[in-house]
Each structure stands twice: as structure tokens, then as C-alpha cells.
Chain A
Amino acid sequence: MNTYHVNEKGYYGDFGGAYIPEMLYPNVEELRQRYLEITAQDDFKAEFDQLLKDYVGRPTPLYFASRLSKKYDTKIYLKREDLCHTGAHKINNTIGQILLAKRLGKNRIIAETGAGQHGVATATVCALMGIQCVVYMGELDIKRQAPNVARMKMLGAEVRPAQSGSKTLKDATNEAIRDWINNPVDTHYIIGSVVGPHPYPDMVARFQAVISEECKVQLLEAEGRDYPDHVIACVGGGSNAAGIYYHYLDDPRVNIIAVEAAGKGIDSGESAATSALGKEGIIHGSKTLLIQTPDGQITEPYSISAGLDYPGVGPLHAHLYRSQRAEFISIPDQEAMEWGLSLSQMEGIIPAIETAHAFALLDERKFKTDDVLLLNCSGRGDKDLDTYINYFKL
């Protein structure tokens, strides 16, 4: 059977693998050898499920968006990941990884963060477990995302500025990797998306897979069938998308749609649409599509949403794109921002700007009246209020 999941060597088609310096090999190899075994243990599953239920607030609702459905003359279901503790799907992964780290005997956690959502989700689980936490964040992002920096500090994390390169997410990731090189024994690195060397993309996708696992049950109840016709999510690195696609990847009845950030337009030089602009290369230990110069220098992407401006995309998504299993589309800043307002006023849900990109697809595609659309409402817009205020002069 054709499968879109990772193979035993850590690849999705042409993409993936572990292109890491030897200094990281023992850490990554330990994870590779143990992640499947540990996450399959009964006590791990019990603790993971219990925390997702009692602490994160799962299962998150599957909500039939009636006004939106009426307007677009189709059936639109929203998976409400925005209702998770800390405001987005990110915490599904950090809960999973902190439990794994404990079982690996690690007593120090590091993470990278762009907008601060993954940093907050990591600081949160570290507080929950009483484990030391260091979050690397680009110096520029620290200035742009002051509330999330404050949240991380309140949660007891140390926020270290990444001062190299462009001083944003990719540099924060580089710094976190360097920290891991310098602290190979006691430290676990919680990567926030389905990126990085194998086994991270698969491991993070598995922790996020709870999203589509719940959708199957909830759709069956609502529609009498456990799959949608179209599943839609925004993609930066791609963790919320990986989660909602996961159980539908090998189901040919389901059309997969990925929405990237076009920024100021694909050809503007200020974009994060990796599928359109990226070429095969290596970033953060993974072979994937990434935005780079002809000389192979990784360039700084742009999107108004800090969570989508990553110059690469997870290897799963690169494979879904190249194999044409998924349809990729990109949405410019302006349309996403307007959808932030539309969703707020039509359904009473203020979305994260990342999430708003996924909704903007509704204006780009025509769907049939009885089509079932499953759209990942991946995060809430509280963190983006400043951006909304400035944009709409609220």
C-alpha cells in the first residue's frame, strides 16, 4: 500500500533523514531508538491521555460553523484547537515530549520559539513537571512578542536571545541546537514543529495525531462517516496540519489542502510560501524544501503571522507537495487579516493570524453543497491582538 508516513530510514519519499553534526548523533540516536518503544508503553499512554484530558482540555470540540457553511454553501466543521490550554495545538506536542524526556532521564529542557507560542507551551509543561527550562528566541522576536516573553518568565523559564544571523526563529533554532551540542547528556530539546532531524518530524506528528483521532470519532457522530471530503490547515513548519492530516494521509477519499503564507505576495521577496519558492536542501538537520539563495544560503522569510515565517517546511509536507497528495495554496497577509475579522464577526471566534490563513482558502476554492470540510482552527488570536489593533486601527 502507498503510505505517506515515514519509512524505517526516517524519510518521507525524498525528504527527511538526519543531517546532523556528529556532536548531536548520540542524542538523536537515543531518541530514534527509544521514541516508539517509550510512547507505546501503557504507563506513558495513560499519563499522556490523562494530561491531555484534565490539563489541556481534550477532546477539543468539533464545531459545525453554521453561518460560515451557509455563506459558502458547504458543510464546514472547525476543530477547535484554539480551546486548548495555552491557546493552540502546540501543547499536545510539549506534553508528549516532556513525558518522553522524563523517561529518558533528562532534567533540563531547551526549546526554540518564534512568536512565543511553542515557548509558552514548553515553559508550561516544564512548570507542570518542575523541570528547568531554557527557551531560545530571536532578539527581534523578543521585542515583537513581549506578552509571550512575559508569560514564559512567569512560568519560570529562562528566555535567551538568539543574536546570530537574522535574529529570528531560524536563528533561535540554531542556538537551541548549539545548546544541545554543549549539553549532550542531561538535556532534551523539545522541537515545536514537524521539522528537524528524524525522528522529530514523526514524533511530533504522532503527538499531534490526537487531533485527527478525535475528528474521526466526532465526524462519525455528526455526519455518519469518520472522514471529511477536504481537510484544511495552515502550514508553517506544519505541526497542526500534520496532526489533522495524520489519520487521513493514506485515505484516498480525503483531499488534503495546505495553506501557506504568501506574505506580501509570492514574488514580492517577502513571503513564506515554501512550496512555491523553496528548493530541496537541508535545514535544521532535515532534507526538505526551503527558501534559499541560488548559492544555498537560507533566506529570511516573511509573513505577518510570526508562526508561519519559517524558511522551510516539515519533510512530510515537502513529500505531500512533491507527490501531489496535497494541494498547496498560499494566502497573502491582507486576506488572512480580513479573515481574522470575518471569523470573529461571523462565528464569534477570534483566530490566530496563522489560523486565519486556512480560512481564507474558502474564497479561493468552490466546494459542493454536501462536501464535508474539516478545518483546523489551530490557535486563538489573543497573542495577535496588537497586530490586529495596529492593522485595523481598532
Chain B
Amino acid sequence: MNRIQLALAQDHKLLSIYFTAGFPNLNDTVSILKQLEEAGVDIIELGLPFSDPLADGPTIQESSTQALRNGMTTDKLFEQLKDVRKHVSVPLIVMGYFNPMMQYGVERFCQKCQKVGIDGLIIPDLPVDVYHENYQELFQQYGLLNMFLITPQTNDERIRYIDNVSEGFIYMVSSAATTGAQNSFGDVQTEYFKRIGAMNLNAKLLVGFGISNAVTYQVATVHTKGAIIGSAFIKHLEANGADSVYDFVAQIR
């Protein structure tokens, strides 16, 4: 069983944290991974920086730009992760845009992911139907799960289709928005979490976009399996440096 599936099978709610590889400094990647594991995070999403991250709000965009300026590349990331499985055992997901993976060679990219111990991928601009037709077999061959997004605008029929193709969790985007921290969720979002929670999907749901603190984490996980924090963590790293991971996680749960 894949590490992501093992994590999803646990009884408790899951906390997943995203950060951009190579940010704030080029070689902080592994240190941040270790600290996240020590702090008890259940799943880690590692962002492969891209020049044109369409689905991201300003915080993650800027961290990507900074990481690229620091010299981050796809090769560099795999180099940094070479021995990561000696130190870190939580599920690791690479989140990135499709163009850098295409240039690396999709199969070669998958191969490398498997070799360093990556468990899954999130590729916001690789649509589910293209994945299903062209890449699913390849990803399976290298033991990689691919996670898909749904939004409040995704209709039930499409959610069912995505659920069928999903082998890991479904990444539930909290509201019509790019990534970015919010202070609270309103009734509309709570209703949405409840509605999707009641669809009895095969895949577990993790809520992302807009989770920033204990309150939003709580609200997001009432009807779902867990939640994902990205921008708020990036902001924390920016303000407090790369050694301050524990403090952030401790204030969420």
C-alpha cells in the first residue's frame, strides 16, 4: 500500500502542509521536511517552483519566484531528496505544474520520484481526462498516486468521474479562488464541505486553499478527512525563518 493510502486509512483527521522547495533558501528543503515530520504533520506537499503558476495566489507565486532565483531546478530537487527516505517517513507529494515535468520527460520524472520515495503528485494544470487517457498507467507503473482538485463549481457528475479516477485523496478547493490564506470560512463554504462530505465518495477529502489557523482547520475538517495549509505556512517561514516549523504546526492542532 502507498504511504498516502496508509495515512488516509488512519482514524484521526489529517493535517497536510505545503511548502515550496528551495524557499526561503535553496537548501532548506530537507530540513523543513524533517521538522514537519517531527511536528506531527501527516502528509507533506513539496512545491516544484514554476515561473507561471496559474492556480496560485501571490504568496505561493512569490515563494516560487524566490526559489527559482535561489537556483532551484527539477534536478536540484531530486538531488536534495536523494536520501530523504533515510530521515523522513511521512507521505510525500510533489505539487507542480505540468510544463517542467514535460521538459524533464514525464516518464523520467516519474522514475525519479519513485527512486527518491515520492508517493504522489498534484498537477493542477493536468486535467483529469488527459491524465486518465495518457498518463495514469505510467504513474501507476511507478507507484505514484495523482490527486485531483474539485471546487464549489464542480458538478456532481464530474465529481463522480474524478472520484472514479482517484486513487489517493480528492483535493477540495474551499472556494472559488487561487491559493491564499483566509481568516475564517462562512456558511457557503461550510455548506459546501457538508454537501460533498455527504456524497459518500470512495476517495477521502482533504480541504485546501484558505486554511490558515486552528479555526479554519477545525471548520474544514468537520465533514472531511483533513486539510491542507500552504500560503499561511509560507508566510510563517518568511517571517520566522526556516527553523520555526514546530511553532507553526503547534498552533494549528
Contact = CB atoms under 8 A, between A and B. Distances in A.
Interface of A: 17-23, 25-26, 164-165, 170-171, 174, 177-178, 181-185, 279-285, 292, 294-299
Given A21-B55, A26-B154, A164-B65, A296 B103 contact: yes
Given A23-B149, A285-B125, A296-B74, A181 B154 contact: no
B80 to A, nearest CB: 15
13 contacts: A19-B130, A20-B125, A20-B127, A21-B149, A22-B154, A23-B177, A165-B61, A181-B176, A181-B177, A183-B176, A292-B99, A294-B103, A295-B74
Nearest to B133: A9
Contact of A26 (B62, B103, B155): B155
Interface string B123-135: 0111110100000
Interface centre among B62, B75, B124, B153 (most CB of A within 10 A): B153
A156 B155 CA distance: 36
Given A279-B103, A283-B52, A19 B178 contact: no
Interface of B: 50-55, 57-58, 61-62, 65, 68, 73-75, 97-104, 124-128, 130, 148-151, 153-155, 158, 173, 176-178
A319 to B, nearest CB: 18
Interface centre among B54, B73, B155 (most CB of A within 10 A): B54
A181 B178 contact: yes
Contact of B173 (A22, A178, A281): A22
A1 to B, nearest CB: 26
A298 B100 CA distance: 9
A22 B101 CA distance: 19
Contact of A17 (B65, B101, B130, B149): B130
B65 A21 contact: no
Contacts of B58: 164
Contacts of B97: 282
B65 A23 contact: no
Contact of B176 (A170, A184, A297, A299): A184
B228 to A, nearest CB: 15
Nearest to A282: B99
Contact of B127 (A19, A164, A281): A19
Given A22-B149, A26-B155, A184-B153, A281 B99 contact: yes
A25 B177 contact: no
Given A282-B98, A294-B103, 18 more contacts: A18-B127, A22-B127, A22-B128, A22-B148, A22-B150, A22-B173, A23-B173, A25-B127, A26-B151, A170-B52, A174-B54, A182-B176, A182-B178, A282-B102, A295-B75, A296-B50, A296-B103, A297-B51
A318 to B, nearest CB: 14
B209 to A, nearest CB: 9
A298 B64 CA distance: 13
B47 to A, nearest CB: 14
B52 A165 contact: yes
Nearest to B62: A164
A26 B151 CA distance: 10
A198 to B, nearest CB: 11
Contacts of A177: 54
Contacts of B65: 164-165
Nearest to B50: A297
Contact of A296 (B101, B124, B150): B101
Nearest to A179: B178
A17 B131 CA distance: 13
Nearest to B155: A26
Contacts of A299: 51
Contacts of A26: 151, 153-155
Nearest to B103: A296
B125 A21 contact: yes
Contacts of B126: 19
B103 A281 contact: yes
B150 A165 contact: no
Contacts of A20: 54, 125, 127
Interface centre among A19, A185, A299 (most CB of B within 10 A): A19
